[in-house]
Structure 1
Amino acid sequence: MTSLYGNTSNLKSTEKKTLLSLFRKKIINENLISKDFLNYLISAHDQIGKNINLVINHRGKVDLIYLGEIWELEDYTVLKFGDKNIQNTKRLITISNRKNDFQKNEKVSLINSKFINYLLIRRTTKENNLFTICYKNSNLESKSFWKIDTFNDINALNEESLWTLNNNKHLSTKQPKINKVNEKIYLVGISITNKKDLNNSMAELRELSKSLGKEVVGSDFQIRKTYDSKTLIGKGFLADVLLEAEYLGASKIIFNKELLPFQSKEISKQTYMKISDRTELILEIFKKNAQSKEAHIQIELARLKYELPRIAGTGKNFSQISGGISSKGPGEKKIEQRRRYLRKRINLLEKQINDLSQRRMQNRSKREKNELFSATLIGYTCAGKSTLFNKLTKSNVVESTKPFSTLNPTTRRTYISNETEILLSDTVGFITDLPEDLISSFRATLEEINQSDLLIHIVDCSEDNFEEKIMSVEDTLIRTKLINHKRIIIFNKIDLINSETLNYIKSKYHQPCVSSTKNLGINDARLEIEKIIQSTFKKPKVISL
């Protein structure tokens, strides 16, 4: 079956016949384009007077003909081949009267179509042609990922060893099955403040990605005065990102800022690669680390709230029409069925979390009747809260350098001194710009923190930006309405800093400094906590949550 697409409405019957005859032609002798085929193509172009784009398969036969601009071709390859992830064994030949070679938006469209190579034939005169070819640059040290070469002669073009089809024959053979490999991702940073904050954000995004076993193949960033309302980053920068990510073999692009639903949809229109953001990455980490039923409920609720407004851009499968039992009559789209399911599921999970909050409230009431005192460890993720918790309570909760290893509060009874017994809780870590959906879904956990009499803020002082993380935790406390609680700061990991930094922390903050792994300063921290308890609460015996 022949495939003729594009601006074909005004074609005469003789012109259509000429185009359809190209399906019977073949490029022979393993050339990029043979002289006979070029003559046929030039004759058709002279007769029609429009841009002609040909998709050529590995046998040299024409699979698809499209009349129009090169950048529009991507949608038509989807029509012909089913999806954007077609096997990479086809190439594109375009003949045109244009004066310029491949533009950036055209290169993005061509890369998304996953052709082996792209040949543009420019008709300078009726007798002379310029051959421009775009291909993947094999020089990894070059800053240009996609290279463009121009030839004045068809013989010179075909003699170029890089373009002999023998180099691409292996692509048409069936590939052996291989074991599952890590997902390759490309990171994109955007900031409207300063480069230091952006560097910290990108470093954190890289660590979050690695904690899930993803392979970061590349990254880039942009500093702007304002965010682009449609695509978050500039259009030119986005085109560069798409070209570089495709060159490096990435299957997903992750942004360091949360994308609005329509921004994610707009970017997805321009590439076959998956588009994600920091919020979705954090949700994926939470899902991976969830152990209890309670954590699974809270994380599923956050994930569904994130998905609901973004479902419109999830692909053509949800745009299909269906009918039958449980649908709202014939003709209802799958996207509407999915929306209805998400809303029902969200309502059910909200009720389960409300029940969970009610049970925890009853437990807190029992402790209040017994005049029990509560204290909770809070802080940025990976600050060492669980390690210090184990030291203070002689427990054995999971310790990890990966983010968000602790999701559920863990409570243990411990003696701060010979006279003061408390219940101490370890809880989920914070992070900069904690997603609103997570804050809402984890309200049962946050309510537990809210009922604590003392918040113990653990800070990893070995981080270069530990003061920015202190401010980030303070900002989260404001957003969760916990800022008015009595707090103490404990600086952890002092074994990893020099004496100058340690003296700076002691002189500025006058707070306990410890090393949970080396057991340094633990007794000083106990004394400081007891001092605060005794000066604030007149209870002979106190117990914390």
Structure 2
Amino acid sequence: MEKIYGKTEGLRKSDLKRLSNLYRRRLPPERVLTPELAQTLAGLSQEIHRPIALLLDRGGRVVRVGVGDAKDLPIPEGARAERRLSGFRLLHTHLSPGGLSRPDLSVLFLHRLDSLAALEVEGGRPATLHLAFLAPPKTGEDWRLLPPRPYFQYLDLDLRAEVEALEEELSRQARVRELLDGSGERAILVGVDTGEGPEAEAGLKELAELTRTAGGVPVKRVLVFRPGLDPRYLVGLGKLEELKSLAYHENASTLIFGLELSPAQAREIERVTGLKVLDRTQLILDIFALHAKTPEAQAQVELAQLRYLLPRLVGKGKEMSRLGGGIGTRGPGETKLEVDRRRLQERIAHLSRKLEEYARRREEARRQRRRQGVPLVAVVGYTNAGKTTLLQALARGGEAGEDKLFATLRPLTRRGFLPGVGEVLFTDTVGFIRKMPEELLTAFRATLEEVREADVLIHVLDASEEGALERHRVVRDLLLDLGVEAPVVLALSKADRAAPYDLYFLGERLGGVPVSALKGTGLRELKEALAGALLASGVRPQAWAQYT
């Protein structure tokens, strides 16, 4: 006997047998229902005093039978393949008048059903039919309701033509968006303001930068004002319904939240919306995985990802697959997550040992530098502040910088010269960001040791960026947390792009040397400031450099 889903408690075996026989039914692909099926469903529903739901494929075959409302019949996962709609339609009975309910229509919308039909039953006979389709995006509506009519008036409706027309419109709009945005994953960004005000808005803007760096397309930014967070849905069930509708009309498949989600919150939000759900930490880990090129950086990123994922492994199947990565599912991916917790812990231990070996090699290199007496200048700053470009200008060599967040994941060390000091080593570091994920700080501990060992730091601050003061505070606080004691020289980078008043304001508040690495302005003044800081800290100049 075929499986019957839903509220089957208390039904007799004979009732279950009759329900199972519904699997043998087949509708013409172009018809909503037939008189025979309408009579059968109405009579059986009246006898068992419960609604009956059928899920049919596009060939008209019954693939699932359930007892209860539309929401009680589970829809198979992964049904949509390449089509814009799921390829399934749902037909169910109502034992009382009232039409399609909000939960009914949510099933239609959430699962992208081809159609949803409700057949009212009166005295064991079929009566009014209610029929709904998804509305095309950008119409302002989530679904299209046809007028309720006696069921026999819909017997000649060409269902196949309705579905094909809707899919063609969905495909046309998707092609237009792809031409405008490329093939990137379209995402809705969600920030939460619990009283932070401008800082929450800046965080949402930064989330958009992170999404673009990860290869996604931020199509909408939504800032939710809440005095407290919902422990289950973060922003509340009603707001999730709005986000689900917005994602449909924007053809977005992903929700990205600016806060870190608990495992339970991520699962519940995904269940309610039917969308991929990422939080800010996952997005940053995804970017690090994208930019990790060397074996050390790859090991560091994988370790950070696995430490983040380990407490979120609640089982196998969909829960683990959802955590397979961020945009584009980079990183350790599903294949590593489908092992048990013990093997995952073994992998973490292996990566930790490997990074300890890298740390020992790095420490040996630092000892050799100290024996040679060459001062070390570390370049630090907020991500995408222009650190790599400035290092290239100061050292006259190295890799070109990129206008991306976290473009540099490994220390890039180059030799250079400072007047009055002589030869120095300039080293680049990982960019900082507000609320830096703890997993990353732990995994990149050895890399950040370069900052502690430096004789002087260049703090690169993007003077052209809105919110520069806040970014300066973030870097300063992280340096304090790392226990850095070296003197700091502030470089107000991208001075050629900054407004004159902004440069003046930052200079008055923070001091610093305005520089433009691309145009070469301010580099001489910055080198002089670095040389002065090194000499003041007790660094002895090389003999030949005292006369330069």
Q: Which moved more, 1:334-343 or 1:428-437?
A: 334-343
Task: Identify if the C-alpha distance between structure 1 residues 129 and 182 changes in structure 2 by more than 3 Å, giving closer, same or farther.
Answer: same
| Candidates 356, 363, 368, aligned match of 1:366 | 368
Cα 1:158/1:218, change in 2 over 3 Å: farther
Q: Displacement of 1:274 after TM fit?
A: 2.9
Distance 1:218 1:101 in 2: 33
8 Å contact from structure 2 (residues 29, 58) kept in 1? no
- Cα distance in 1 for partners of 2:200, 2:155 equals 47
Gaps of 5+ in 2: 322-335
Aligned counterpart for 2:293 among listed residues 280, 291, 294: 291
* Residue number in structure 1 paired with 2:527: 526
1:331: which partner in 2?
A: none
Once residues 514 and 38 of structure 1 are traced to their aligned partners in structure 2, the CA distance between those partners, rounded to angstroms, is 78
Q: Name the stretch that deviates more: 54-63 or 178-187.
A: 178-187
Shift of 1:413: 2.0
Residues 151 and 157 in structure 1, CA contact (< 8 A), matched pair in contact too: no
The answer as to whether partners of 2:490 and 2:511 remain within 8 angstroms in 1 is: no
Contact persistence 1:72–1:109 (CA under 8 A): no
Query: Residues 194-243 of structure 1, C-alpha deviation per residue, up to 9 Å, x if partnerless?
Result: 45333322222222222232234444332211222223221222233234
Following superposition, the deviation at residue 100 of structure 1 comes to 5.4
Letter in structure 1 aligned against 2:510: Y
**Greater Cα shift, 275-284 or 2-11:** 2-11
| 1:327 match | none
Corresponding residue number in structure 2 for 1:121: 119
Contact 2:244/2:273 (<8 A) preserved:
yes
Structure 1 CA distance for aligned equivalents of residues 304 and 319 of structure 2: 24
> Which among 371, 376, 381 is matched to residue 378 of structure 2?
376
Q: 1:229 aligns with which of 223, 227, 231?
A: 231
Return the alpha-carbon distance in structure 1 between the equivalents of residues 47 and 238 of structure 2.
Answer: 36
Using the alignment, how far apart are the partners of 1:133 and 1:375 within structure 2?
70
Q: Secondary structure at the match of 1:46?
A: helix
What amino acid sits opposite 2:114 in the alignment? I
Name the structure 1 match of 2:134: 136
Equivalent residue number for residue 326 of structure 1: none
CA distance in 1, matches of 2:337, 2:440: 24
Task: Report the CA distance between 1:126 and its aligned residue.
Answer: 7.5
Query: Aligned partners of 1:425 and 1:133: how far apart in 2?
Result: 66
Q: In the alignment, what sits opposite 1:210?
A: 212
8 A Cα contact 2:66 2:72, kept in partner = no
Alignment-derived partner of residue 327 in structure 2: none
Query: Relative to structure 1, is the Cα distance of residues 155 and 493 closer, same or farther in structure 2, using a 3 angstrom cutoff?
Result: farther
Distance 1:35 1:337, change over 3 A: closer
Task: Give the match's secondary structure for 1:494.
Answer: coil
* 2:44 counterpart letter in structure 1: A
Question: CA 1:513 to 1:348, structure 2 compared with 1: closer, same or farther past 3 Å?
Answer: same
The one-letter amino acid of 2:454's match is S
TM-superposed deviation, 1:404: 1.3
Aligned residue identity for 1:47: E
Aligned pairs for 1:243-392 within 5 A: 243-246=245-248, 248-270=250-272, 272-312=274-314, 315=317, 337-392=339-394
Q: Deviations over 1:378-421 (max 9, x none)?
A: 01111111111111110131310011111111122212225443
Q: Secondary structure at the match of 2:397?
A: coil
- Give the aligned partner of residue 333 of structure 2: none
**TM-score (structure 2 length as normaliser):** 0.84
Q: Secondary structure at the match of 1:226?
A: coil
Equivalent position SS for 2:460: strand
SS at match of 1:415: strand
1:143-202 CA-to-partner distances (Å, cap 9, x unmatched) read x33444552444665687xx73223359999x9xx9994334333322323453333222
> Would you say the 8 A contact 1:84–1:112 is kept in 2?
no
Q: Does 1:401 align with 2:403?
A: yes
CA distance, structure 1, for counterparts of residue 69 and residue 391 of structure 2: 63
RMSD of aligned C-alpha atoms?
Answer: 3.4
Pair 1:505-2:506 in alignment: yes
Q: Which moved more, 1:469-478 or 1:46-55?
A: 469-478
**8 A contact 1:494–1:514 mirrored in 2:** yes
1:146-161 paired onto structure 2 within 5 Å: 146-154=143-151
Query: Per the alignment, in what secondary structure is the counterpart of residue 517 of structure 1?
Result: coil
Q: Is residue 312–residue 335 contact of structure 1 (8 Å, CA) maintained in 2?
A: no
Are 1:379 and 1:430, in contact at CA under 8 Å, matched by a contact in 2?
yes
97-106 vs 287-296, which deviates more?
Answer: 97-106
Indicate the SS of the match to 2:314.
Answer: helix
Equivalence map 1:413-428=2 (5 Å): 413-417=415-419, 419-428=421-430
Matched, 1:41 2:36: no
Distance 1:317 1:138 in 2: 31
SS of residue paired to 1:467: helix
Distance 1:260 1:481 in 2: 30
Tell me the equivalent position of 1:492.
Answer: 493
Shift of 1:445: 0.6
Aligned with 2:313: secondary structure?
helix
Partner in structure 1 of residue 470 of structure 2: 468
Structure 1 alignment gaps of length 5 or more: 320-333
Offset from partner CA, 1:68-101 (integer Å, 9 cap, x none): 2322322xx33xxx75557722201121235655
Identify which of 450, 453, 465 aligns with 2:452: 450
What amino acid is aligned across from residue 513 of structure 1 in structure 2?
Answer: P
Partner of 2:50: 50
Cα deviation for residue 478 of structure 1 reads: 3.5
Query: Kindly tell me: are residues 439 and 217 of structure 1, through their superposed partners in 2, closer, same or farther at Cα, counting changes over 3 Å?
Result: same
Counterpart amino acid of 2:38? L
Residues 106 and 521 of structure 1, relative CA distance in 2, 3 Å threshold: farther
Question: For the residues of structure 1 that align with 2:80 and 2:130, how far apart are their CA atoms?
Answer: 25
Asked whether the 8 Å contact 1:105–1:239 carries over to 2, the reply is no
> For 1:472 and 1:189, how far apart are their aligned partners in 2?
19
Aligned to 1:145: 142
CA distance in 2, matches of 1:158, 1:418: 93
Residues matched between the structures, number: 517
Aligned residue identity for 2:475: V
Question: Identity of paired residues, percent?
Answer: 27
State the alpha-carbon separation in 2 of the partners of residues 154 and 259 from structure 1.
47
1:336 and 1:150, CA in 2 relative to 1: closer, same or farther beyond 3 A?
A: same
The alpha-carbon distance between structure 1 residues 198 and 129, as it changes in their structure 2 partners (threshold 3 A), is farther
The CA distance in 1 between the partners of 2:486 and 2:310, in whole Å, is 35
CA distance, structure 1, for counterparts of residue 514 and residue 123 of structure 2: 79
In structure 2, the partner of 1:167 is: 162
Contact residue 375 and residue 539 of structure 2 kept, 8 A: no
